[in-house]
Amino acid sequence: MTAFHEFELIEWIRSQKGMSHTNLLGIGDDTAILQPPAHSELLLATDMLMEGAHFTFPPATPELAGRKALAVNLSDIAAMGGSPHSALVSLALPRSRGSEFAKSVMQGIMELAAEFQTQLAGGDTNSWNGPLVINVAIIGTADQSHSIKRSGAQPGDWIFVTGALGGSLESHHLTFQPRVREAVALMETVTIKSMIDVSDGLASDLQHILVESDVGAVIQSKQIPISPRVSSELTDAERLQKALSDGEDFELLFTVSAEQGQRLRDQNPLSIPLTHIGKITAEQGALLQQTDGSTTPLENTGWKHQL
């Protein structure tokens, strides 16, 4: 393994072709400079991924670890109904793995950044005798007062989820597509009242919308889109449980008025599945309804981070 040189890596990063916005001065000075676009609000988020906690080698590769670190941040921007603009990347690199490893991590980040028109605005590069840690801070934009919050759900709203749920932990969590384009396409069709990305599992993330909006919900168990990734050897009840509580799907969970919900159900504007799974109620708490009409409390069994 070659010894690791921080400046060499930064020079290499700068030499790579990347997205460049006209209102951003990127890598190379003491800070990046962003001229905020007129009539927009800035969305700021950051997420840190640690080898051993959020990915392991294998099944992750350095490229996929880098990719995931940016993808989870893009997913947060999507969940606010925004467009990603730029990102800052901080690395704690394991010294023993050398500079090719570091370049691979950055390559995974830069490829996904290009795909989502996100400029690498800067970062920090360190090496140590510990495992890989990647922190990404992201900046997105939304039209002034048009960001979508968790707090906007109202009784009578229909609840929708994109894609399919469950079974992500085997490998999908490294390769998922952040639903940035889907959020934009939905916003062009309907007024989204509340939204969140499903990172901890549907049962858990729905709670955030309910608590922030001060409402409840009834979810139809038959309507939950169970991913084909969930093993067919499990019982139906176990498969449903995984779809409700496995984390790291990064699908969008959102609410719209009943009238607009009907429109979405008649014509899905997305190229991925979109499922009406239930509705918002004035009565607090979340219920799971079976086809015979009986209900049970939707247990908040989502993924709990082990800290």
Stretch that binds ligand ADP, among 117-125, 166-174, 258-266, 287-295 (CB under 6 A): 117-125
> Pairing between strand 119-128 and 33-34?
unpaired
Name which of ligand ADP, Mg ion, none residue 170 binds, using a CB cut-off of 5 to 8 Å depending on partner kind: none
Contacts (Cβ under 8 Å, ≥6 apart) of 227: 163, 164, 165, 166, 167, 168, 172, 243, 249
For residue 89, state whether it binds ligand ADP (rule: CB under 6 A).
yes
- State the residue number with the nearest CB to ligand ADP: 122
Name which of Mg ion, ligand ADP, none residue 10 binds, using a CB cut-off of 5 to 8 Å depending on partner kind: ligand ADP
CB of 6 to Mg ion, least distance (A): 9
Sole binder of ligand ADP in the list 2, 3, 22, 30 (CB under 6 A): 30
**281 exposure class (CB count in 10 Å sphere: 0-12, 13-18, 19+):** middle
Determine whether the annotation assigns residue 143 to a binding site: no
Structure tokens, 131: 């495992």
Return the ∠ at Cα 30 (arms to 24 and 31), rounded to 5°: 35
Stretch that binds ligand ADP, among 22-30, 68-76, 193-201, 216-224 (CB under 6 A): 22-30
Q: How far is CA 24 from CA 9, 28, 34, in A?
A: 22, 12, 5
* Pairwise CA distance, residues 232 & 238, whole Å: 10
For residue 91, state whether it binds ligand ADP (rule: CB under 6 A).
yes
Name which of Mg ion, ligand ADP, none residue 13 binds, using a CB cut-off of 5 to 8 Å depending on partner kind: ligand ADP
Q: Are 292 and 302 in contact (CB under 8 A)?
A: no
DSSP of 155-201: TT-EEEEES-BS--TTTHHHHPPP-HHHHHHHHHHS---EEEE-SS-
For residue 139, state whether it binds ligand ADP (rule: CB under 6 A).
no
* Pairwise CA distance, residues 238 & 231, whole Å: 9
Sole binder of ligand ADP in the list 5, 8, 10, 95 (CB under 6 A): 10
* Pairwise CA distance, residues 184 & 41, whole Å: 16
Number of residues forming the site for ligand ADP (CB under 6 A): 13
- Spatial CA neighbour of 103 closest among 179, 4, 246, 25: 4
Stretch that binds ligand ADP, among 27-35, 54-62, 92-100, 142-150 (CB under 6 A): 27-35
For residue 87, state whether it binds ligand ADP (rule: CB under 6 A).
no
Cβ nearer to ligand ADP, comparing 54 with 103: 103
Residue 91, SS3? strand
For residue 261, state whether it binds ligand ADP (rule: CB under 6 A).
no
For residue 28, state whether it binds ligand ADP (rule: CB under 6 A).
yes
**CB atoms inside a 10 Å sphere around CB 212:** 15
Sole binder of ligand ADP in the list 124, 170, 238, 283 (CB under 6 A): 124
Sole binder of ligand ADP in the list 83, 86, 99, 125 (CB under 6 A): 125
Known binding positions for ATP: 123-124, 150, 199
Known binding positions for substrate: 54, 248, 303
Known binding positions: 30, 46-47, 54, 76, 123-124, 150, 197, 199-200, 248, 303
Known binding positions for Mg(2+): 30, 46-47, 76, 124, 197, 200
Which residues here bind ligand ADP, judged by CB under 6 A?
10, 13, 27-30, 89, 91, 120, 122-125
